A and B are shown apart, each in its own frame.
Chain A
Amino acid sequence: MKRKVVTVLLALAAFALFFSCKPKESNTAVAEVQKETEAPAADASSGTLPRNQTLYWAGLQWGSINGWNVLSDDMNNFNVSRQAYGTRITMFETLYMYNFLDGSLVPLIADGAPQWNAGKTEVTVKIKKAAKWSDGTPLTAEDVAYTYATAVKIGNTAGNSNKPYIAAVEAKDAQTVVIKAALDASGAAKNPLMLDNYLAVEYVAQKAWIQKLESRTGSDATKMKIDPAEDVVYSGPYGPYFADDQKVVLVRNDNYWGKDASMWGKLPAPKYVAHTIYADNAGGEVAFKSGEVDVSQQFNSNVQDLWLKDKLPISTYMSEAPYGICGSLPTAYFNMAIPGLDNVNVRKAIAMAVDYDAIIANAMTNQSPTFDQVPRSTMNPTPGEQALYDQKAVANLQWVGNDVAGANALLDKAGIKDTNGDGIRELNGQKLSFKASCPNGWTDWMAAIEIVAAAGEKIGIEITSVFPEWSVYQTVVTQAHQMEYEIFMMWSDGSSPTMPWNRVRQLMSSEYVGVEGNWSGNWGQYSNPKVDQIISAIPATTDPAKLKSLYTEANKIYLTDVPSFTLMYRPNCFHAVNESVWTNYPEDGDGQNIPPGDLIHGYSIAGLYTITPVK
């Protein structure tokens, strides 16, 4: 009897599950899209995606998607995501593709390099004649101009972040776009770097589709931004195929314009690209190891163990540490309003005493160069940024870390001593005791903060670690006058066309001082008019020697005043591949100059055209 009951219940469960697996409503439209695109011969109509024609990612999609709307910031769709180090261009495309290996802009929709006018106030971009939308209509300059105008009108991130710097995007003719910079009082472009950023980061949407969206929403900005856009027209190589709460699948558009000789000259290798939705990193890692995932954008601790110990066909861009290209600088900020931390000797002593090698070995499992290899500055470790400042001129200011004796000597010399014998130094009669924070659950950052706290103990400064939840953490950290977090971690942005200028700005610009809801930078509220001058001078500077001297000066100030200190280097995105199904992924030294950007960010998509199936 009991067995019968169990069997019936199991059957019921399977039945219930079966019905709950129905694709969401939005998928009916997806199915229609599928019908419209030519049905491939060996395809997924059997219900199974052919493994050797499908490329799987992990670490880019968390939770189910909300739609395919390229004008929205809220689609939670890994294919619709602007990224400074390389916008994701599987479905929608940008004028240029950013290559974070060398900082170059590779033409995509654009034909040839962008042409600046003599006064550097506007840039002209030609559009490739071959460029087409998925509905077969040509992609024109009119689409580019209308996309930008709409972005500004509805106030999405693309509009909000560009409008201070771009006055207008105009279509001169079907094949010519002119991007006009917003000008300052002197008539010069406010910031030419932001125009480069626009060219590489912002998507182009189809004017006809936007107008369709406008008519069904009555041009209501909010409605336009939350529309799931099931009817969207795209220009990239892949379009919607299937999506539910467990996966997102795109299918190749075999009529993709990019197979024209003026672009790639062929179609990307995978017929389908897919992303299974995992509950957490551990789920993605298990699937990656078992070969269910080809490209992983997840932090795999001790990634080398996967091939050295587990003997799996897994590799990274470089076969030796740091295994990838680091682009961003996770940084600990000092809250300058806290008594004690307003003293530069205290700040520098803490920064000098921290054991960075331990952070890099433990928190990053050596997936970061050490500060011996790449001395600290405002630059990321890429050769392009490193060449922009005079390393010798600041060498005496760059500390490597774990220098307890040096830090103690610095404090002693400054007269900051332990006067009451409790083992903790005092400044102006006040015990030097601070809290060091980062969000709970961000394990690599937490490990780093613990090492900062340990450093304090060695130099007579009490540092205790506190790990609030992210929702609380970022609410506090973005307040203008918060006194709760004293030494705290935030990011500094990775590679992008505006770097390293934007990073100098992010680390030190006083424009963020006193700003409520500050997600932009300088969270410690550091202020120095000399730095502000340098920050405003860099974007318009074209003379390389002058530029180098400005960056060197900014670094001198940064390393002298220590408003914050970088704890490790970190890749723009993690990039590891399992070669059990696909091979010939881009690698360091293969001469292709394709960045390790998961074959989806900016120019790294070129990898989709080089990979080949193993069998």
Chain B
Amino acid sequence: MNGYRKYFGKKLLWFTITFVVAVLLNFILPRLMPGDPVAVITAKSAQGMSEASAVKEVYEHYAREFGVNDPMFKQFITYFKNALRGDFGLSFSQYPRKVSDIINDAIWWTVALQLPAIIVGWLIGNTLGALAAYIRKGFDKVIMPVALFLSSLPPFGMAVILLVLFAIKLEIAPTSGGYGFDMIPNFSWPFVKSVISHYQLPFWSIVVYATGGQAIGMRSMSIYELNADYVKYSRFLGIKDSKIVGYVFRNAMLPQITGLALSLGTMIGGALVAEIIFSYPGLGTTLLAGITMADYPLLSATTLIITFMVLLATFAIDIIYGFVDPRVKAAQFDE
């Protein structure tokens, strides 16, 4: 048990160090971007204002509001103190909304779309990949090229194909939004139905894309494992095929689990394409607007969430591996 404690403590230390560095980078990097966000926000109010001095007043008002004239160090202290309380300040691109409000409004859409889509894509992909490796022959000949095609198609390509085919040509799916364009959210069956039907295209566009990549990975891993010595040995021993398949897939699954954890960690910024093509609400488009308008507070907060989630996912994987995979455990104990 002492070994576990040491292993866990070491991982936790690295986790903390990485996190601190990440917070610092999250603060500094967006501020190194070229472009002055105060100018961007001023430009919005100043268009059509012909008096140069009046525009200057507008600029100074926003500069004061955001405290951009303070030294960087002071800005960081304020940022860090507020961030601990979950307050990321006011957004430049959506002034005067609070960054925390913006994220809170958008993040649930993203999570509700991405989490099931990634998991479903992962499950289908791995099942198909494993079956292709196990059955081979005709099945593999179909699955492999299809999976390759799906994973090499850019995500926006898949989204546009789905949109044109199902929404525009066949008219069996809505074209945009999270619910009907003529609806007001309420607790009724037509509204729930509308939410579900609007969910389909963005959801499947992510699932189909994720499936391809997972299937290819799982197929290669499984083929490798199927040829391993322990499989041959088990066969000599006369162990049942289904039992052997169980061993094989458990081993082949390990890298796939890492992949799953990482895609879950990065999902916050990952649904951009689906969000844009289907005008689906979520954090991806918000983040994109933040980037184009040099919205530091919004960028810092969003990247901080992504960083935290990736770190958490990798940390969790490390810990679970320590328990699950004897080889990892052994390697750690040897040190």
Same complex origin of A and B:
yes
Q: Which A positions have Cβ atoms within 8 angstroms of B?
A: 2, 5-6, 9-10, 12-14, 16-24, 44, 46-49, 51, 54, 56, 63-64, 66, 73-74, 76, 82-84, 155, 157, 160-161, 163-164, 222, 225-226, 242, 244-247, 249, 276-280, 282-283, 286-287, 290, 292, 469-472, 474-475, 478, 493, 496, 498, 502, 505-506, 511-512, 515-521
Q: How far is the CA of A46 from the CA of B189 in the complex (A)?
A: 11
Task: Give 28 pairs: A residue, B residue, CB < 8 Å, sorted on A.
Answer: A13-B113, A13-B116, A14-B199, A16-B112, A44-B184, A47-B183, A49-B183, A63-B93, A63-B289, A73-B45, A74-B45, A84-B48, A161-B49, A164-B51, A226-B95, A276-B177, A276-B181, A282-B277, A283-B175, A287-B181, A471-B34, A471-B37, A475-B40, A515-B52, A516-B56, A519-B47, A519-B55, A521-B50
CB nearest to B187 among chain A residues:
A18
Tell me if B188 counts as interface (CB < 8 A to partner A).
yes
List the 9 closest A-B pairs by CB distance, nearest first: A471-B35, A20-B108, A226-B96, A16-B112, A160-B54, A283-B279, A519-B46, A47-B186, A472-B35
A73 contacts across to B, CB distance below 8 A? 44-45, 58
Candidates B50, B163, B175, B176; contact of A161 at CB < 8 Å: B50
Tell me if B106 counts as interface (CB < 8 A to partner A).
yes
Q: How far is the CA of A12 from the CA of B119 in the complex (A)?
A: 13
User: In the complex, which residues 284-333 of chain B have their Cβ closer than 8 Å to any Cβ of chain A?
Assistant: 285, 289, 292-294
Tell me if B42 counts as interface (CB < 8 A to partner A).
yes
Contact: A17 with B181, CB < 8 Å? no
- Assuming A6-B120, A47-B184, A471-B40, is B177 touching A21 (CB within 8 A)? no
B185 contacts across to A, CB distance below 8 A? 21-23, 47, 244
Contact: B181 with A56, CB < 8 Å? yes
Q: Which B positions have Cβ atoms within 8 angstroms of A?
A: 33-37, 39-40, 42-59, 61, 65, 93-97, 105-106, 108-109, 111-113, 115-116, 119-120, 123-124, 127, 163, 167-168, 175-186, 188, 190-192, 195-196, 199, 203, 275-281, 285, 289, 292-294
Contact: B168 with A286, CB < 8 Å? yes
Main secondary structure of the interface of B (DSSP, over half): helix
Contact: B176 with A286, CB < 8 Å? yes
Candidates B57, B182, B195; contact of A155 at CB < 8 Å: B57
Q: How far is the CA of A107 from the CA of B321 in the complex (A)?
A: 75
- Assuming A13-B199, A17-B199, A471-B40, is B58 touching A246 (CB within 8 A)? no
Contact: A512 with B35, CB < 8 Å? no
Contact: B183 with A48, CB < 8 Å? yes
CB nearest to B105 among chain A residues:
A245
Contact: B279 with A12, CB < 8 Å? no
Contact: B116 with A48, CB < 8 Å? no
Q: How far is the CA of A13 from the CA of B192 in the complex (A)?
A: 11
Q: How far is the CA of A23 from the CA of B35 in the complex (A)?
A: 34
Q: How far is the CA of A242 from the CA of B181 in the complex (A)?
A: 13
Q: How many whole Å from B154's CB to the nearest CB in chain A?
A: 16
Most buried by A among B55, B120, B182, B275: B182
Q: How far is the CA of A415 from the CA of B285 in the complex (A)?
A: 53
A51 contacts across to B, CB distance below 8 A? 182
Q: How many whole Å from A399's CB to the nearest CB in chain B?
A: 28
Q: How far is the CA of A276 from the CA of B280 in the complex (A)?
A: 12
- Beyond A64-B105, A471-B294, 12 additional pairs, beta carbon < 8 A: A2-B127, A13-B113, A21-B191, A54-B182, A66-B95, A74-B95, A242-B184, A276-B176, A279-B275, A283-B277, A283-B279, A519-B42
CB nearest to A514 among chain B residues:
B52
Contact: A475 with B181, CB < 8 Å? no
Contact: B59 with A517, CB < 8 Å? yes
Most buried by B among A44, A280, A470, A517: A517
- Assuming A49-B184, A76-B94, is B52 touching A520 (CB within 8 A)? yes
CB nearest to B37 among chain A residues:
A471
A518 contacts across to B, CB distance below 8 A? 52, 55
- Assuming A20-B112, A47-B186, is B176 touching A14 (CB within 8 A)? no
Q: How many whole Å from B101's CB to the nearest CB in chain A?
A: 8
B184 contacts across to A, CB distance below 8 A? 44, 47-49, 242, 249
Q: How far is the CA of A64 from the CA of B113 in the complex (A)?
A: 20
CB nearest to A471 among chain B residues:
B35
Most buried by B among A47, A73, A515: A47
CB nearest to A290 among chain B residues:
B175
Q: How many whole Å from A7's CB to the nearest CB in chain B?
A: 11
Q: How far is the CA of A313 from the CA of B54 in the complex (A)?
A: 45
